[in-house]
């Protein structure tokens, strides 16, 4: 029976907290240099303070950051020498040996997510990589991406396994589409009502797929 494995990235494949603080500061510095061309010093400082505690998407919405500024930020990021050194969870190597097609569906600042993917060398593991770019309000949701995958693949929804940690994101979306949802609780997350299965390590995933 053909099966498709659809993975989330952050806190599923690697711990987000492992991104060094100096790299977070470097990212904020790139935004600060961009914002200085559009905002007063006071406004830039306020945005940066918010970014230290909240996501780009929520802060950009709060301050009504324009598409022009977002695109300038993305452009400056691409021109920078920003690189990451990351390690996946120790047992993620077990996933490499699974004989099923694997797709990655991630959500976040596109250029940063791509830097994570390069650092983790995930391009060789996944047949497709989809990123919902949170810089833009009109981005496709994870549910939209899963719908597209479901449309393109001739596989029954129950044979598509959505594997992630976030209750209100990939797990809810997959559950609503009739896919099999597996919550990966690497950080002791409480079990989601949208999770058909709840695992703490990838050896359990091997067992579920047998």
How high is the pLDDT of residue 5? Answer: 98
Report the alpha-carbon distance of residue 169 to residue 5 in Å, rounded: 16
Inter-CA distances, 41 with 16, 35, 38, 46, Å = 30, 9, 10, 9
pLDDT beyond 80 at 23: yes
Residue from 58, 26, 31, 24 nearest 45 by CA: 31
How high is the pLDDT of residue 137? Answer: 75
Q: What residues contact 90, with CB distance under 8 A and at least 6 apart?
A: none
Domain boundaries, the chain: 4-16+87-209, 21-79
How high is the pLDDT of residue 138? Answer: 82
C-alpha dihedral sign at 58, 60, 64, 66:
negative
Report the alpha-carbon distance of residue 163 to residue 184 in Å, rounded: 7
Q: Please write the tens of the pLDDT for every residue from 63-93.
A: 999 989 999 999 999 999 999 999 999 999 9
Which two tokens mark 185? 């609780």
pLDDT beyond 90 at 57: no
pLDDT beyond 80 at 141: yes
Query: 3-state DSSP call for residue 133?
Result: strand
Which two tokens mark 124? 């060789």
Q: Region 140-152: what's the mean pLDDT?
A: 96
* CATH architecture assignment, domain 4-16+87-209: 3-Layer(aba) Sandwich (3.40)
- If you average pLDDT over every residue of the chain, what do you get? 93
Report the alpha-carbon distance of residue 19 to residue 210 in Å, rounded: 34
Report the alpha-carbon distance of residue 174 to residue 167 in Å, rounded: 10
Which is more confidently placed, 68 or 137?
68
Whole-prediction pTM value? Answer: 0.90
- Given the structure tokens 């990235």, which residue do they identify? 9
Q: Region 153-179: what's the mean pLDDT?
A: 95
Inter-CA distances, 106 with 27, 69, 141, 206, Å = 19, 23, 10, 22
Q: Which residues are registered as beta bridge partners of 197?
A: 182
How high is the pLDDT of residue 118? Answer: 96
Helix (H) or strand (E) holding 164: strand 160-164
Q: Region 125-135: what's the mean pLDDT?
A: 93
How high is the pLDDT of residue 76? Answer: 95
Degrees to nearest 5, angle at CA 1 with 174 and 124? 70
């Amino acid at each position: 029976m053909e099966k498709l494995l659809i993975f989330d990235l952050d806190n599923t494949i690697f711990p987000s907290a492992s991104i060094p603080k100096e790299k977070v500061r470097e990212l904020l510095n790139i935004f600060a240099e961009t914002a200085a061309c559009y905002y007063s010093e006071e406004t830039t400082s306020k945005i940066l303070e918010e970014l230290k505690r909240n996501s780009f998407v929520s802060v950009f919405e709060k301050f009504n950051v324009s598409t022009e500024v977002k695109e300038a930020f993305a452009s400056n990021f691409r021109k920078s020498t920003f690189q990451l050194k990351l390690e996946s969870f120790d047992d993620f190597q077990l996933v490499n040996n699974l004989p099923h097609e694997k797709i990655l569906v991630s959500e976040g600042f596109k250029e940063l997510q791509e830097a994570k993917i390069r650092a983790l060398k995930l391009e060789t593991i996944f047949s497709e990589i989809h990123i919902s770019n949170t810089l833009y309000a009109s981005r496709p949701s994870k549910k939209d991406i899963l719908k597209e995958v479901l449309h393109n693949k001739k596989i029954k929804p129950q044979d598509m396994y959505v594997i992630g940690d976030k209750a209100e994101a990939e797990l809810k979306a997959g559950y609503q589409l009739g896919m099999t949802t597996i919550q990966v609780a690497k950080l002791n997350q409480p079990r989601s009502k949208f999770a058909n299965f709840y695992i703490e390590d990838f050896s359990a995933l091997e067992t579920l797929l047998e």
